[in-house]
């Protein structure tokens, strides 16, 4: 009888003392048992470390805040799983999430690198808000690079990926303030994605969190978004992909205008010129 593959869950905590025990428990209570759990505390200033230690799980306690991408890589580099789940310290996996992921991957060849699914958004006190599928009912699957260039439609918290994907990427880009957009772009250039319609994660909306702050004026995430758009231009292989990037950049220009981020608008203006030069007159 074959041993089921190891699935590594990397849980990143930063000031999640109110929530991290529930996140950890959602991993320990999975129907699937061959799990490696590594919790990284990214220099929390609350009592998160004490809460994590009380659960007895493996902990990497960083002495200062290094940012999400660096914190994740600290664990990924020492992990052993064939599959990887990136779990924020305030989110909750559904009870059969890992079992379902392993089963779904077993039905596909290794060209499929990332599974994603539905998510239930909840409040800080665990009240239901809405389903991710209420906004994105028919997500793209397969070779979805151009779709990901154009728009957001994946709940990152719902993802499970093959180790080979992160190996190829050499983990997250530590020069960026957030991970998901860059991960989607670089991984989908080489791997197919597939969708599972079940709720795989409860995604908590927390006031003042990084995801809540990303659309504020002066947000460091916005500069990271621009850097990823620059990467896309170097990765594109066709006029159609450049058209997709043009659509994305115009969206980001409108967002920058709403926030009065005029310096960022100028950067995107320069990028639009380069897209036009790369794609020819068909982009006009």
Is the pTM value of this prediction over 0.85? yes
pLDDT in tens, 142-186: 999 999 999 999 999 999 999 999 999 999 999 999 999 999 999
Please give the backbone phi and psi of residue 13, each rounded to the nearest 5 degrees, phi first: -120, 130
Largest CA distance in the chain: 62
Q: Are 7 and 102 in contact (CB under 8 A)?
A: yes
pLDDT given at position 220: 80
Which of 103, 105, 158, 161 lies closest to 133 in space, CA to CA? 158
Domain locations in the chain as residue ranges:
7-207, 220-283
Please report the pLDDT score of residue 2 as a whole number.
Answer: 83
7-207 has CATH 3.90.550.10 classification: yes
With a pLDDT cut of 90, the percent of the chain lying above it is: 87
CA-closest candidate to residue 83, choices 101, 69, 95, 100: 101
Token pair 């220009």 in the structure block, residue: 253
**Distance (Å) of CA 275 to CA 102, 239, 244:** 40, 9, 10
3-state secondary structure of 158: helix
Mean pLDDT on 116-136: 97
Q: Are 199 and 131 in contact (CB under 8 A)?
A: yes
pLDDT digits 0-9 by tens, 28-55:
999 999 999 999 999 999 999 999 999 9
Locus of tokens 């009240």: 127
pLDDT recorded at residue 219: 74
- Taking only the tens place, the pLDDT of each residue in 181-235 is 999 999 999 999 999 999 999 999 998 766 655 556 567 889 999 999 999 999 9
Q: Is 216 exposed, middle or buried (0-12, 13-18, 19+ CB in 10 A)?
A: exposed
DSSP 8-state class, residue 147: H
Pairing of strands 35-42, 58-62: parallel
């Amino acid at each position: 009888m074959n041993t089921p593959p190891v699935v590594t869950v990397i849980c990143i905590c930063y000031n999640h003392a109110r929530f991290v025990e529930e996140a950890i428990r959602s991993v320990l209570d999975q129907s699937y048992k061959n799990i490696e759990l590594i919790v990284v505390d990214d220099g929390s200033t609350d009592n998160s470390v004490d809460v994590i230690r009380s659960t007895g799980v493996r902990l990497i306690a960083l002495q200062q805040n290094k940012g999400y991408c660096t914190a994740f890589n600290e664990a990924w580099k020492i992990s052993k799983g064939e599959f990887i789940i990136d779990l924020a310290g305030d989110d909750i996996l559904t009870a059969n999430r890992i079992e379902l992921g392993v089963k779904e991957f077993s039905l596909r060849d290794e060209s499929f690198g990332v599974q994603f699914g539905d998510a239930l958004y909840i409040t800080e006190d665990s009240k239901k808000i809405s389903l991710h599928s209420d906004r994105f009912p028919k997500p793209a699957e397969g070779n979805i690079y151009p779709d990901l260039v154009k728009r957001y439609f994946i709940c990152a918290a719902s993802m499970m990926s093959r180790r080979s994907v992160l190996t190829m990427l050499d983990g997250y880009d530590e020069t960026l303030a957030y991970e998901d957009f860059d991960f989607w772009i670089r991984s989908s250039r080489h791997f197919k994605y597939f969708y599972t319609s079940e709720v795989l994660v409860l995604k908590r909306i927390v006031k003042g969190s990084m995801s809540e702050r990303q659309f504020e004026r002066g947000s460091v995430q916005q500069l990271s978004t621009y850097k990823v758009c620059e990467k896309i231009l170097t990765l594109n292989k066709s006029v159609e992909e450049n058209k997709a990037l043009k659509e994305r950049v115009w969206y980001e220009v409108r967002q920058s205008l709403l926030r009065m981020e005029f310096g960022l608008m100028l950067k995107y203006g320069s990028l639009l010129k380069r897209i036009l030069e790369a794609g020819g007159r068909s982009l006009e």
